[in-house]
A and B are shown apart, each in its own frame.
Chain A
Amino acid sequence: MRHLSQLSALLRKDILIELKSRETVISMLLFSLLVLLVFNFAFEADSAAIKKISPGLLWITFLFFGVLGLNRSFTLEKENDSLQGTLLAPVDRSVIYLGKFLSNLLFILLVELITLPLFTLFLNVDLLSHIGKLLPILLLGSIGFISVGTLFSAMAVNTKMREIMLPLLLYPISTPAFIAATKCTSAILRDRPIESYSNWLNILILFDVVFFVTSFLIFEFVVEE
């Protein structure tokens, strides 16, 4: 019960800060718009090629703005050493990880959901008619990416080049989740049955479980000096 109340306090604090500053969601959304705009000019919207590569483009967009959000996640804790204030309280370190993971997931999923119709609009790829099947993949892909991203964001925040360090650490590790999510998205957009991408789906689920549990357990050692 104590853990739940602390988790709720951590989550509420992050949401409150975001509601006041709007820095994370707005910057991710603007970045997402810019990426889509670049893709729109780089590729012909009606070409067959874009239908083929659209799942990859979609997940690249998510990875790009996701890093922005993750970078911001612990940067705000750096000012006034606020994270240390939280660490001084009798809070299990894994609860702090969970709070950060959930707030990151919330903000990134929100921007992903806004990006889907924009992606359809800019690149003329119908994502919305597949939304029922796409949403679980979106959630699973984001969970994997954010599990590792939250941990690496906590690690990178104490380095001099944190903006560079996070993608350098995060992109290689999250590649299996990225590929699996792209393959699943591709199969869904081609109206393939679930059996045709179940292996990729299993890889995605396995990635989520392994990296969420690992990050949850080792977060304590990352935040301790």
Chain B
Amino acid sequence: MSYLKVRSLSKNFGHLKALQDVDLELEKGKSIAIFGDNGAGKTTLIKIISTLMNPTSGKIFVNDLDLTSDGDKIRKSLGLVSHSLFLYSELNAIENLRYFGRLYGVGDLDDRITNLLGKFGLLPRMYDSVRTFSRGMLQRLALARAVIHKPDFLLLDEPFTGLDRSASQLLMNYLEEHKAGGGTSLLVTHDLQRGFESADQLAILSEGRMVWKSDSSSLSLDEFKKVYSKNVSEGV
């Protein structure tokens, strides 16, 4: 049974058609990586699935809940890691996580925060203002913020942007851990290798259309790169 169902999803910004009749299904516990060049509609898709943006038409169901009517219930199970950090620069790491933890109603919040800060290597800087953090540290804290409520469904929008090698490894480890725990994830990226390595399913979005879908086990990385070049260049 599908955990995520996207049906004929379209989004227009005036005359610009950012997404056109996108269909997508993802089973619980599986991961999908959606690739596409800049302007393909990847971030728009993530924003709509994460309830931050309303679609022009189409339907989305997460765990059989309708996104348009059950947004509040769906948000409880969603975690979004984006190139936007969603953090308050004036606050320190603990204060940021405490704020978001309270919004989600996380129990044993202090233990959860300590655990996450330890996992993402931020304990030595937990009382420092977020403003003083490097880009990599900010991304790690943003990841901790996104998973503070242990979401079932993880949405990742170019999460590797700005990460150094160790931070990227931390993220990959977390994604594996999330998957091992039965979590579902949707990643959008133009990093072909990382996306290919981390997902069960692959899809290509070009000019707002889902032009190709497949299981990652059915082809090699080199084959996928050829498929990507063909589909994206045909779309342009």
Contacts and interface: CB of A to CB of B under 8 A. Distances in A.
Interface residues of B, number: 30
B110 to A, nearest CB: 14
A58 to B, nearest CB: 32
A224 interface: yes
Contact of A87 (B52, B76, B95, B105): B52
A20 interface: yes
A47 interface: no
A81 interface: yes
- The listed residue with most B CB atoms (<10 A of its CB), out of A12, A13, A17, A91, is A13
Given A9-B102, A89-B103, A84 B52 contact: yes
Given A5-B102, A17-B91, A88 B80 contact: yes
Nearest to B149: A89
A1 to B, nearest CB: 10
Contacts of A13: 88, 91, 95, 99
B11 to A, nearest CB: 10
B87 interface: yes
A224 B53 contact: yes
Interface string A10-21: 101100110011
B51 interface: yes
A9 B89 contact: no
B47 interface: yes
A119 B82 CA distance: 49
B103 A20 contact: no
Given A13-B91, A81-B86, A225-B53, A90 B72 contact: yes
Contacts of B52: 84, 87-88, 224-225
The 7 residue pairs across chains A and B that have the minimum distance between CB atoms: A85-B86, A9-B102, A89-B103, A81-B84, A90-B75, A80-B85, A225-B53
